[in-house]
Amino acid sequence: MIQVLIVEDDPMVADLNKRYVEQIQGFELVDAAANVEEAYQCLEQTKVDLVLLDVYMPGRSGLELLKELREKDKQLDVILITAASEKEQIQQSLRLGVVDYLIKPFEFERLQNALKKYKENHFVLRDKRKVSQNELDQIFSKQERQEGNRIQVPKGLTKTTLDHIIQVIRLKKEAAFSTDEIAQETDISRVSVRKYLKFLKEIDFLEETLIYGVGRPVYQYQLKDTRDLNFEFYH
């Protein structure tokens, strides 16, 4: 298990991040700290692999903690989570070796992707004295492949609605379903649901079958692709 420490001064945000981490397989939350001093106490008492670190906190900042950890050669990784998006701060954090940088507010999916990517890299390198060029190429090209594999979502479809519909579909696993069923379960109009199902069929996420019976033919769908999808939305 990957041991995670959350350093966040806002209790509500810290609690939300705790629940996020607890939902992701392979990670274990060891503690949460509200400031740099509490973070040091935890790091002295507990083995930590990954820190989810806020920047702006009372007293010393998260960047100060990050810099000190690097100076002390602490063997742990950091994902910075902050409302700040200034170029200078991002550059500084990258120079200090953060593995990812999340700007608040962010969706659960964004943190989930960050942790999944971290877990893959973590286990490639763990317990190895030597790493091959091929393994290193997999690590350093992963982000490029993810960027290149983004699926462009048509205008008029929103992230919130698409995520909701996909979540309901995944729960059905191999069971077939109709537009009307999804409309009823999501409380979204049939016309809107039809647009989203059509898009998901076009990208081969769903398999579509036309069923003939009494009355008008009905389209039925089944989940075809169980992989995580990386969408890009128009702004």
Class of domain 2-149: alpha beta
For 55-111, what is each residue's pLDDT tens digit?
888 889 999 999 998 888 888 999 998 876 677 778 888 888 888 888 887 888 888
- State the pLDDT at residue 124: 56
Q: Tens digits of per-residue pLDDT, 118-155? A: 887 766 555 556 666 665 555 455 554 444 456 788 88
Q: Just give the CATH number of 159-232.
A: 1.10.10.10
Distances 48 to 3, 31, 95, 164, 215 between C-alpha atoms, Å: 5, 9, 21, 34, 62
Where do the domains of the chain lie? 2-149, 159-232
How would DSSP label each residue in 161-228? HHHHHHHHHHHHTT--EEHHHHHHHHT--HHHHHHHHHHHHHTTSEEEEEEP-SSS-EEEEEE---S-
pLDDT higher than 70, residue 41 = yes
pLDDT of the residue at 144: 47
CB 67 within 8 A of CB 22: no
Whether residue 114 is predicted with pLDDT greater than 90 in this model: the reply is no
pLDDT class for 202, splitting at 50, 70, 90?
confident
2-149 and 159-232 in the same fold: no
Share of the chain above pLDDT 90, in %: 41
